[in-house]
């Protein structure tokens, strides 16, 4: 069937400025640029990854949306029409990548942060200590000391130290390239934080970074062995993710080459299917069983995290997870990214992380169990201000996926599932993977966290506090703007203009 | 002029002093001082004030010329933004002394508290000086932009100086008589040995200082001093991106 | 009676005889009056320990009522939950500078045995205090300890001291506070000290970690109704020392724990303890500038924040321990001192009643 879909983007080349160096053609991994006596774009194949424009020495390329106007119709958006055409031509589920792009409200942008004046001094982070150190893990309700108060009697469950309350999100080797994984591991070690293997297992080249790695146990159990579990800082059971709550994952067989086969411990060329649920977890007590199976296998030396998507009943689910023995709960909001997901799920399922976090933190406090697990949140943490707001709402630390990819060069073109990523990130093709230099990418990630760390310290200083634990859960330092009362109640914050 | 300050609020006390100065009085002795603030504050004249008892906060604030002698411990905020003059304390002082000091001398026999000499500055010939004979607390010389600070540790108490010494320093010089753990020194600071010029410089101030308090100048100068100077006048150039 | 968050300023003073000698209230009034300019007349108060020796086993509730109705409701409630031995007005003396006092009444109470099957006596009293403060409109518990009391209101502290006739009371611990709030409420309940059972706190500064300190305490049943940050300090001590049974020095460590960079350099056992305190009790860390004087029946504790943003001077003479925001406030009542010093940031000054004292 011939496609009726017009080109989504137009590649505009200024032929006068063009040097005919052919760099654009060499760089494009989607076949959208050819050269016939001059640069000849094939607009229908352009997906706006900007690779050509970035490398053009004359800045002679601009990428614009194909300006095909329809007669104005608010309801039948161009995108909806295109999707119908695609489905009429294929009969298939529309696949996409990265996070929900739809204009749902962004609650981070409706919260403002307090500052100290007159009655309380702000603090100078450049000259006075401003502590971001965070420990993840289950904490006892109180401590016991011996009679002389000299020795601590309470045994504390294992804690993982973060020098900055920002952790790299789970992205599997398979979804992203090995070079990307290496960059994340190196940056995590250098910055005193963690990266997450995702569900694709742990490649031997980064096994030495164990103390900065979260190993994930997902429904497909790829690469999961006792050695894998112990080669880590902590173990995460992935129940769901924000981008695709409730469904599993699929890495097509043609992407399972030698290396992936080895890391995931499946034969070359087979599909890597992650089932929707863990088939040994059909109820909360099963989760508890799996958590303790992992604890036994790791001799109780590693905290166990459970990652869930933010859905309607997330507070009750989180409470159950904590009571099931998890040391950490990781909540992924509906804007979380993915390498591949059906568009219908990515764009329409799940709830915002701001509301989920507020609900979970409050619920755990009401039940008196907030100390039993640390809360990690992700699903579109875009900037340091979002981190500050998340911690004020109650998070122990934030998880960044999309932001780390963008730091490495990702342009969020949403075509990860094609495996043609021109930036060498979401691909396994060697000629493309080579484009991502792990050392440089690691530097970029470290720069990002360093910059955010300084920014968070600046905000803490203006809040008049010098330790992150004095911000954590202190909703009093946030005010809402332009939010209805019910939303303010869910977030547990007051509207701007109201004093203490 | 002798004034019994017992039970007197600072307002009438300071007014009496100001009025007397306007009428030509040059010397004052205040007895039974107990917590009155701002004594000597804002005065421009070369008068002498002797204080018996513990004065209140902000003694000599914005002062521009007088000489004040205190025969007891003093409190916080002394020499706040002082421009010129002398303050001599036969005892200890509190916190935040010499904040923004631009000139003059502050000589303390005993210990100083926290945040001594924050953002001291000098301009051309005006160079402020603070000398403390004992110990000092955290943030000694924070944000220093000019002037001279000397810490002697004569009473043997420990620790000699607190944490974050010279944090944010971008001008001026400090001389500390005794060992300072590098761990406690701000990252903007460089530690050096003294040269001949340094010895001459501190020698001249310390001679005067020792005379006030009866210390032995030779004993003081025989101690091992460390000189602290800023690494740069622009310590935060690389922190921002535009 | 409720009003918006009032930051805590500005003058504190405390004195204690470690041998338990009783001293009348004129001395402490003199000390706090010396720091008159740190306040603005919108609040003053005192805590006194050892003032009701004939009734030392009864809970002495000092109550403030906005209206007769609030008093009646509370007294009905008291009849249900306590044995009320004595109730009487708190003696006062009309004084210029002290206007519009609420109804001030005190009660000497005992807890009936049969109420204590499932709960300890002190938890029972604590819950009652929380209930009255949060549920009885117009009634407020100023103090609820044994053989101690809080005397506070709107006015300069020296005027409040005279208003309550503190010269008629003899105590072995006195603490005092003068306020400089930045709003203009006339609320007697908002003055310091804040108390719970026999804990009392006077506080100079503002707690920037209030939001999380409050939410943490709420998890354990404390109700913070007074919207003044000082409240959290009294409740935190009650939680950590009385309920969690932490030794006092560890409770202080929770509230003013050192920086990580200093913890990392400690000896292994100390480092383990300090790290554990911050990991588990991070929500109790008091951030922001503060000097506090905490009183309890066996002693007095003075403490500054970790970077000493508020002043505090301590001194000793014979069996007396003094602490105040300014040295002159101590010299005013004790011109000759054996020892005078400035406590270091985050390091407590602790006065304890000698063991043999009742």
Cross-chain CB nearest to A127 (options B143, B239, B241):
B143
A363 and A295 assigned to the same domain: yes
Q: Is the pLDDT of residue A286 over 80?
A: yes
Q: What is the CATH number of the domain that holds B235?
A: 2.160.20.60
* Contact: A127, B239; criterion CB under 8 Å: no
Q: B79's torsion region: left (phi>0), alpha (psi -120 to 50) or beta?
A: left
The band of A52, judged by pLDDT with boundaries at 50, 70 and 90, is: very high
Domain borders along chain C are 11-352
How far is it, in rounded angstroms, from Cα A93 to Cα A199?
23
Residues A168 and A73 in one domain: no
Predicted model pTM: 0.87
Whether C342 and B53 lie within 8 Å, measured CB to CB: no
Burial class (CB in 10 A: 0-12, 13-18, 19+), C218: middle
Q: Which chains are within 8 Å of B by 3+ CB pairs?
A: A, C
Convert chain B into a string of H (helix), E (strand) and C (coil).
CEEECCCCCHHHHHHHHHHHHHCCCCEEEEEEEECCCCCCCCCCCCCEEEEEEECCCCCCCCCEEEEEEECCCCCCCCCCCCCEEEEEECCCCCCCCCCCCCCCEEEECCCCCCCCCCCCCCECCECCEEEECCCCCCCCCCCCEEEEEEECCCCCCCCCCCCCECCCCCEEEEEEECCCCHHHECCCEEEECCCHHHHHHHHHHHHHHHHHHCCCHHHHHCCCEEEEEECCCCCCHHHCCC
> Which one of C212, C244, C287 has the shortest CB-CB distance to A142?
C244
Q: Which residue has the higher pLDDT, A349 or A275?
A: A349
**How high is the pLDDT of residue B237?**
67
Q: What is the pLDDT of residues A17-28, one digit of tens each?
A: 999 999 999 999
Interface test with A, best of C208, C217, C257, C288 (most A CBs within 10 A): C208
Give residue C184's pLDDT: 46
Position C1 scores a pLDDT of: 34
How many CB atoms lie under 10 A from the CB of residue C340? 19
- What pLDDT was estimated at residue A247? 82
Task: Report the residue from B142, B239, B241 with minimal CB separation from A127.
Answer: B142
Q: Which residue of C has its CA nearest to B56?
A: C328
With CB atoms and an 8 Å threshold, state whether B167 touches A454: no
SS3 at position C147: coil
Q: How confident is the model over B22-30, as a mean pLDDT?
A: 95
Chain C nearest-CA residue for B73: C327
How far is Cα A86 from Cα B29, in angstroms, rounded to an integer?
96
Q: Which residues of chain C have pLDDT under 70?
A: 1-9, 95, 181-186
| pLDDT score of B146 | 92
Domain extent, residue A355, equals 134-495
The helix (run of H) or strand (run of E) holding residue C81 is helix C68-81
Q: Is A310:A353 a contact under the CB 8 Å cutoff?
A: yes
Number of domains in chain B: 1
- Annotated catalytic residue C257: no
Active-site residue among C3, C10, C34, C257?
C10
Q: Which two tokens stand for residue A303?
A: 């905290």
Give me the mean pLDDT over the A298-311 stretch.
95
Kindly indicate the confidence band of residue B3, based on its pLDDT and cuts at 50, 70 and 90: very high
The band of A475, judged by pLDDT with boundaries at 50, 70 and 90, is very high
Give the residue on C whose Cα is nearest the Cα of B139.
Answer: C307
Mutate to test the interface with C, among A470, A472, A473, A477 (most CBs of C within 10 A): A470
pLDDT, average across residues A414-425 = 93
Beta-strand pair B64-70/B84-89: parallel
Q: Which of A33, A68, A92 is the last residue of a domain?
A: A92
Superfamily of domain C11-352 in CATH is Aminohydrolase, N-terminal nucleophile (Ntn) domain (3.60.20.10)
A225 and A280 fall within a common domain = yes
% of chain A surpassing 90 pLDDT: 78
Q: Which residue of A has its CA nearest to B189?
A: A127
pLDDT at C4: 46
The answer on A197 and A260 residing in a single domain is yes
Number of domains in chain A: 2
Chain C interface, mutation test: which of B6, B38, B53, B54, most C Cβ atoms within 10 Å? B54
Whether A4 is in a domain gets the answer no
- A66 with A163, same domain: the answer is no
Average pLDDT for B150-171: 92
Same domain, A140 and A88: no
Name which residue leads in pLDDT, A410 or A271.
A410
Q: Give the nearest partner residue to B94 out of C34, C331, C342, using CB atoms.
A: C342
């Amino acid at each position: 069937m011939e496609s009726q879909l017009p080109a989504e983007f137009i590649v505009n080349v200024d032929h006068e400025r063009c040097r005919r160096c052919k760099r654009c053609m060499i760089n494009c991994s989607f076949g959208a640029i050819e050269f016939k006596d001059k640069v000849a774009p094939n607009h229908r194949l352009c997906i706006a990854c900007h690779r050509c424009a970035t490398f053009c020495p004359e800045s002679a390329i601009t990428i614009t949306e194909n300006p095909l106007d329809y007669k104005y119709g608010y309801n039948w958006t161009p995108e909806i029409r295109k999707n119908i055409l695609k489905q009429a031509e294929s009969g298939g589920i529309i696949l996409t990548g990265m996070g929900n792009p739809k204009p749902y409200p962004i609650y981070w942008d409706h919260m403002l942060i307090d500052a100290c004046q007159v009655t309380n001094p702000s603090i100078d982070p450049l000259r006075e200590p401003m502590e971001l150190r965070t420990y993840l893990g289950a904490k006892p309700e109180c401590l016991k000391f011996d009679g002389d108060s000299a020795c601590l009697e309470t045994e504390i469950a294992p804690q993982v130290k973060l020098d900055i309350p920002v952790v790299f999100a789970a992205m599997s080797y398979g979804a992203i390239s090995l070079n990307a994984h290496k960059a994340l591991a190196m940056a995590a070690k250098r910055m005193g934080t963690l990266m997450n293997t995702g569900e694709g297992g742990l490649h031997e080249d980064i096994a030495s970074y164990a103390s900065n790695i979260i190993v994930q146990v997902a429904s497909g159990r790829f690469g999961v062995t006792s050695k894998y579990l112990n080669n880590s800082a902590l173990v995460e059971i992935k129940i769901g993710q924000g981008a695709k709550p409730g469904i599993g994952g699929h890495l097509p067989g043609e992407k399972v080459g030698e290396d992936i086969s080895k890391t995931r411990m499946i034969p070359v060329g087979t599909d890597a299917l992650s089932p929707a649920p863990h088939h040994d977890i059909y109820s909360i007590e099963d989760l508890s069983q799996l958590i303790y199976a992992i604890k036994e296998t790791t001799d109780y030396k590693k905290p166990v995290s459970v990652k869930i998507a933010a859905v309607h009943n997330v507070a009750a689910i989180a409470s159950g997870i904590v009571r099931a023995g998890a040391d950490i709960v990781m909540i992924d909001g509906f804007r979380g990214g993915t390498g591949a997901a059906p568009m219908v799920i990515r764009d329409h399922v799940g709830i915002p992380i701001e509301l989920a976090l507020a609900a979970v933190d409050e619920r755990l406090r009401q039940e008196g169990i907030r100390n039993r697990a640390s809360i990690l949140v992700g699903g579109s943490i875009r900037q340091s201000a979002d981190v500050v707001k998340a911690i004020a709402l109650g998070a122990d630390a934030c998880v960044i996926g999309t932001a780390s990819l963008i730091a490495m060069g990702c342009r969020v073109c949403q075509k990860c599932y094609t495996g043609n990523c021109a930036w060498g990130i979401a691909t396994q093709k060697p000629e493309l993977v080579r484009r991502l230099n792990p050392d440089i990418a690691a530097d970029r990630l470290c720069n990002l966290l360093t910059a955010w760390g300084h920014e968070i310290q600046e905000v803490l200083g203006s809040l008049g506090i010098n330790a992150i634990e004095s911000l954590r859960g202190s909703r009093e330092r946030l005010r809402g703007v332009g939010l209805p009362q019910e939303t303010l109640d869910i977030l547990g914050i007051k509207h701007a203009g109201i004093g203490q | 002029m002798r004034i019994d300050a017992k039970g007197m609020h600072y307002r009438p006390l300071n007014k009496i002093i100001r009025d007397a100065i306007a009428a030509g009085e040059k010397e004052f002795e205040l007895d039974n001082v107990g917590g009155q603030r701002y004594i000597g504050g804002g005065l421009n004249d070369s008068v002498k004030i002797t204080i018996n008892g513990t004065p209140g906060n902000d003694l000599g604030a914005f002062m521009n010329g007088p000489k004040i002698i205190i025969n007891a411990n003093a409190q916080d905020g002394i020499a706040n933004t002082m421009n010129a003059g002398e303050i001599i304390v036969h005892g200890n002082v509190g916190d935040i002394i010499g904040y923004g000091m631009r000139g003059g001398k502050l000589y303390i026999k005993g210990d100083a508290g926290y945040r001594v000499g924050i953002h001291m500055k000098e301009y051309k010939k005006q160079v402020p000086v603070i000398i403390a004979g004992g110990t000092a607390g955290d943030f000694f010389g924070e944000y220093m932009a000019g002037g001279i600070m000397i810490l002697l540790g004569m009473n043997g108490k420990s620790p000699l100086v607190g944490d974050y010494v010279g944090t944010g320093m971008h001008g001026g010089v400090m001389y500390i008589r005794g060992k300072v753990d590098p761990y406690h020194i701000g990252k903007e600071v460089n530690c050096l040995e003294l040269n001949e010029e340094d010895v001459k410089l501190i020698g001249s101030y310390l001679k005067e200082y020792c005379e006030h308090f009866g210390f032995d100048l030779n004993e003081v100068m025989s101690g091992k001093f460390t000189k602290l100077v800023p690494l740069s006048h622009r310590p935060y150039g690389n922190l921002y991106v535009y | 009676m409720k009003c918006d968050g009032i930051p805590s300023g500005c003058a504190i003073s405390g004195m204690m005889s470690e041998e338990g000698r009783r001293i009348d209230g004129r001395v402490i009034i003199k000390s706090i009056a010396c720091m008159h300019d740190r306040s603005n007349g919108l609040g003053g108060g005192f805590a006194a320990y050892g003032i009701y020796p004939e009734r030392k086993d009864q809970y002495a509730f000092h109550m403030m009522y906005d209206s007769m109705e609030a008093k009646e409701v509370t007294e009905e409630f008291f009849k249900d939950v306590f044995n009320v031995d004595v109730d009487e007005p708190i003696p006062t003396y009309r004084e210029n500078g002290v206007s519009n006092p609420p109804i001030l009444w005190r009660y000497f109470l005992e807890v009936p045995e049969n109420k204590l099957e499932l709960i300890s006596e002190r938890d029972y009293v604590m819950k009652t205090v929380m209930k009255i403060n949060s549920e009885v409109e117009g009634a407020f518990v100023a103090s609820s300890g044994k053989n101690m009391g809080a005397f506070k209101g709107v006015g300069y502290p020296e005027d409040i001291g005279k208003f309550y006739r503190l010269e008629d009371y003899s105590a072995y611990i006195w603490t005092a506070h003068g306020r400089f709030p930045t709003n203009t409420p006339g609320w007697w309940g908002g003055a310091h000290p804040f108390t719970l059972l026999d804990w009392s706190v006077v506080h100079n500064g503002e707690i920037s970690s209030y939001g999380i300190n409050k939410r943490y305490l709420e998890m354990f049943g404390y109700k913070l109704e007074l919207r003044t940050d000082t409240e959290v300090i009294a409740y935190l001590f009650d939680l950590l020392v009385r309920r969690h049974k932490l030794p006092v020095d560890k409770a202080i460590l929770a509230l003013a724990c050192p920086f990580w960079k200093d913890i990392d350099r400690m000896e292994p056992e100390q480092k383990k303890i300090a790290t554990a305190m911050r990991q588990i009790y991070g929500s109790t860390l008091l951030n922001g500038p503060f000097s506090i004087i905490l009183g309890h029946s066996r002693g007095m504790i003075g403490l500054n924040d970790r970077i000493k943003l508020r002043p505090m001077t301590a001194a000793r003479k014979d069996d007396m321990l003094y602490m105040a925001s300014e040295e002159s406030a101590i010299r005013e009542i004790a011109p000759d001192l054996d020892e005078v010093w400035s406590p270091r940031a985050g390091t407590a000054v602790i006065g304890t009643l000698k063991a043999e004292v009742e």
